[in-house]
Amino acid sequence: MATNDALLAARGLTDAEGLLLSAEGPLADLQRRCGGHIPGLIAIPELLDLVKQAGTMGLSIAREFTAFDGDERVSGFIRIRPQTDGADTSDSYEVLIENWKRESFEIEDAEQAELGDAVDRAAAEFLARLDAQQCIRAFSSTGEDLVGLDAAIRAQPGQNWTDYIELQGVAHRQPLHWRLLDGVECVVPGSERKWKVRLLPIGSANLNPTGFELLLVAEQPREPAKTPGSSDERSQPSIIGSALTPALREPITRIIGNAETIRGKLAGPVREEYSEYAGDIAAAGQHLMSLLDDLADMEAVEADDFAVDLQKVDLTEVAKRAVAMLSQRAQEKNIAIAGPPETAEKHALADLRRVLQIVINLVGNAIAYSPEGSSITLEIARDKQARVCISVADQGPGLDADKQDRIFNKFERLGRDDESGSGLGLYISRKLAHAMEGELMVESAEGEGAKFTLALQPAGQPS
């Protein structure tokens, strides 16, 4: 089929392996904006996939094309066809892009994005604060297999974070736009686990962020530390955590990703009702993933060899992080969240990741059950047993004595008939509190809101 030169916006030449030999017009500009060179490996992931498909099949490809250059979404109609020279077929492919368009990039589902960020923050085993040039200014790590990364950063501080790890599927050098690095896989020296990178902007995401949060999230949770006298084997076989979770997570993630692609019409135009169906599929997939995570957590906390990593934890910082993660959800219901004031009585002996998990669950429940226009208050204080306590109080419907007894039971949803939640959040949270030698309690009265309190052993005054 002949190409309409009036519609042609860009032309390029590649080999079957994705090496961009030449490019002109917007294609050349897009290659450079994504961190690539000419000649050089195609830096646009969507285009690289299409070229490799054409090379594998040895056929022409013609379809709608959408990509992201870090600031804007670009789209057009792309044709990739083998180059022939007389009777011989070469290994080169001509790339033609028509109807080239650019449009602003906007997150279509801010609530879902905020929830994903919150989950990744809670699961991250490495957190760092980066400056605007993506250089590490401060960091903390909890993974035992991250000691090599910790040592490398301390030995040569202040470098770009990509100098310390190996990115997968990114063959181009910094500086790359942060959106092109958010979500990539990486290899951490000294760790056998696979890791995902999250880059979260500080300040305006659409303009020039003043800095970034860097999170490294492992695909597999680390093995809990063995306590003296513990058995090397669980008393009960691990069904969810070691068997079902890895087997189901990948296909569920693929279902969600494909559904979001269809919902966002990124693979081409679809009828509006099909886009809505795809949104329902993605939401159901997210719910299933959340349920799977809850079941895995339930199995973990019920295991005889479950252990936590106890250290000095600043509960004020935990509260701030939880509030920041859930602030968008609260704003949508016009709910005000008051964080705790600074206090000397704030350091507890606890597992940072598990405490954050509990507080996020408590604040999330408070938002879900509180009426619009109400308020939620977080407080930190010592109780009569000298324990350090963090509490979350809401102005929701409250709980009578019977519900207070049942609310921490496994799969207890207190008669809710919606599809949200698994009925495991508070059950898991109380198990985690007990594992940290603490307690999770509730004070409430019907019609007067509820106050949940996590009490932990003190860690002493900060040095």
Q: Are residues 190 and 268 in the same domain?
A: no
Q: Are residues 131 and 97 in the same domain?
A: no
- Cα–chain-centroid distance for residue 1? 44
Q: Are residues 158 and 261 in the same domain?
A: no
Q: Are residues 33 and 77 in the same domain?
A: yes
Question: What are 345's two structure tokens?
Answer: 């009585």
* Average pLDDT for 95-99: 87
- 291 pLDDT higher than 60: yes
The answer to whether residue 4 is domain-embedded is no
β-strands 19-24, 8-15 pairing: antiparallel
**Among 129-138, 371-380, 385-394, 448-457, the least confident range:** 129-138
Q: Are residues 297 and 395 in the same domain?
A: no
- Sign of the four-CA dihedral 173, 174, 175, 179: positive
Q: CATH number for the domain including 182?
A: 3.30.450
Q: CATH number for the domain including 353?
A: 3.30.565.10
- Cα–chain-centroid distance for residue 258? 17
The answer to whether residue 224 is domain-embedded is no
Higher-confidence residue of 314 and 237: namely 314
The answer to whether residue 162 is domain-embedded is yes
The answer to whether residue 118 is domain-embedded is yes
Q: Are residues 452 and 315 in the same domain?
A: yes
* Amino acid 69: pLDDT: 65
* Amino acid 413: pLDDT: 64
- 450 pLDDT higher than 50: yes
Q: What is the mean pLDDT of the chain?
A: 78
Show which of 262, 282, 302 is a domain's final residue: 302
Higher-confidence residue of 22 and 141: namely 22
Q: Are residues 275 and 336 in the same domain?
A: no
Higher-confidence residue of 416 and 123: namely 123
* Average pLDDT for 406-433: 74
The answer to whether residue 247 is domain-embedded is yes
* Amino acid 395: pLDDT: 92
**Among 42-46, 288-292, 446-450, the least confident range:** 288-292
The range of the structural domain enclosing residue 176 comes to: 110-218
Q: Are residues 316 and 451 in the same domain?
A: yes
Q: Are residues 209 and 254 in the same domain?
A: no
The answer to whether residue 373 is domain-embedded is yes
- 327 pLDDT higher than 70: yes
Show which of 104, 119, 134 is a domain's final residue: 104
pLDDT confidence band for 246 (50 / 70 / 90): low
* Amino acid 6: pLDDT: 47
β-strands 336-338, 375-382 pairing: parallel
Q: Are residues 119 and 61 in the same domain?
A: no
Enumerate residues 6+ apart whose C-beta is below 8 A from 235: 303, 304
Higher-confidence residue of 308 and 221: namely 308
Show which of 48, 83, 104 is a domain's final residue: 104
Q: Is 25 left (phi over 0), alpha (psi -120 to 50) or beta?
A: left
Task: State the total domains in the chain.
Answer: 4
The 3-state DSSP class for residue 34 equals coil
The answer to whether residue 173 is domain-embedded is yes
Q: CATH number for the domain including 73?
A: 3.30.450.20
Q: Are residues 48 and 87 in the same domain?
A: yes
- Burial (CB count within 10 angstroms: exposed 0-12, middle 13-18, buried 19+), residue 305: middle
Contact 14, 22 (CB under 8 A): no
The answer to whether residue 462 is domain-embedded is no
pLDDT confidence band for 415 (50 / 70 / 90): very low
**pLDDT tens column, 99-156:** 888 776 554 444 555 666 777 777 788 988 888 888 988 888 877 788 889 888 888 8
Its pTM stands at 0.47
pLDDT confidence band for 221 (50 / 70 / 90): low
Q: Are residues 316 and 452 in the same domain?
A: yes
Higher-confidence residue of 452 and 150: namely 452
* Amino acid 273: pLDDT: 78
* Amino acid 234: pLDDT: 41
The C-alpha atoms of residue 278 and residue 260 are separated, in whole angstroms, by 7
Counting residues of the chain whose pLDDT is more than 90, the rounded percentage is: 16
